[in-house]
Amino acid sequence: MYQSAIDLDAVTAIDMHVHIEVDDHGHASLPEPLVAAVSKYFRTDGPRPAVDAVARYYRERQMAAVVFTVDAGTQLRHPPLSSAEIARAAAEHADVLIPFGSVDPRTGAAALDLAARLIEQEGVRGFKFHPTVQGFDPGHEAYAPLWALIERAGLPAIFHTGQTGIGAGLPGGYGLRLGLSNPMLLDPVAADFPDLQIVMAHPSVPWQDEALSVATHKPNTWIDLSGWSPKYFPAALVRHANSVLRHRVLFGTDYPLLTPDRWLRDVAATDLRPEVLPGILKDNAARLLGLGPHRREESP
């Protein structure tokens, strides 16, 4: 069972958004047409490292990383990677890796059972969801029992928001619906489950204003800065990260599609203030994840 061994003084950053896209058996998290489409969208055909390689990569950079897959078996008709196996592999690298689980919300009671096992038996530290790829509206009442379970466990949940490269350019976008990742669909979840910490992943293009509205209104919501080079961050996002949301904005990359090396290089070209970067890079995530002496409530 996973037990964190991260020394906060020894790491320079916590990457909140790292995908495990292949397992040790060579099985991919997405069907081949989607793998090819997302590589074209991000203009990369680089390697898709498994857990051990991801751990080495982040250890070399003195960083920690939240790692996960996305269970979209119902929507994609493709067997997902095992979140249990990811958590067990992360336990071998507990000095740098933090495993999140993923369940397919559309499987109903099975999703609840799997989520409970991942928490109780594997020690996952949160969950990851992708409403567009998984094909569900997170605000629908059918999924309330799942959010209640995660809330009771005191764990955060990351939700993809905004545009996605998955399915981009394929006929009909592979049947995937972008509107399911409008961050406003998370507003009722944040309202009904005020102790559930919700991370809205990525600059939420084309709904950045909606994400900022939810985040400023609901103090149990956060924004991670993954999936886009910082030089493309919307100006409104940068303004909020520098001010009212500075304690709830999180460093994230979308590795392996965007590397932390590029993110850190490009952030120097933004208007993010040097004094807010320590919080964005590490301190906010440590508080969210309950690492070290950090507490979750927002600092003044």
Residue among 183, 123, 115 at smallest CA distance from 143: 115
**Dist CA 257 CA 228 (whole Å):** 10
What are the structure tokens assigned to 288, written together?
């969210």
Judge contact between 274 and 237, C-beta under 8 A: no
Which residues does 238 contact at the CB level (< 8 Å), separation at least 6?
270, 271, 272
Q: What is the DSSP string of 207-227?
A: -HHHHHHHHHH-TTEEEE--S
Q: Which residues contact 297 (CB under 8 A, 6 or more apart)?
A: none
8-289: which CATH topology?
TIM Barrel (3.20.20)
Q: Domain extents for the chain?
A: 8-289
Do the Cβ atoms of 31 and 73 come closer than 8 Å?
Answer: no
Residues with Cβ < 8 Å from 109, sequence gap 6 or more?
none
pLDDT in tens, the chain (300 residues): 999 999 999 999 999 999 998 888 778 888 888 877 777 777 666 667 899 999 999 999 999 999 999 999 999 999 999 999 999 999 999 999 999 999 999 999 999 999 999 999 999 999 999 999 999 999 999 999 999 999 999 999 999 999 999 999 999 999 999 999 999 999 999 999 999 999 999 999 999 999 999 999 999 999 999 999 999 999 999 999 999 999 999 999 999 999 999 999 999 999 999 999 999 999 999 999 999 765 554 443
The rounded distance, in Å, linking the Cα atoms of 197 and 69 is 19
- Quickly count: other Cβ atoms within 10 Å of residue 143's Cβ: 19
Query: How far is 93 from 72, CA to CA, in rounded Å?
Result: 26
pLDDT for 207: 98
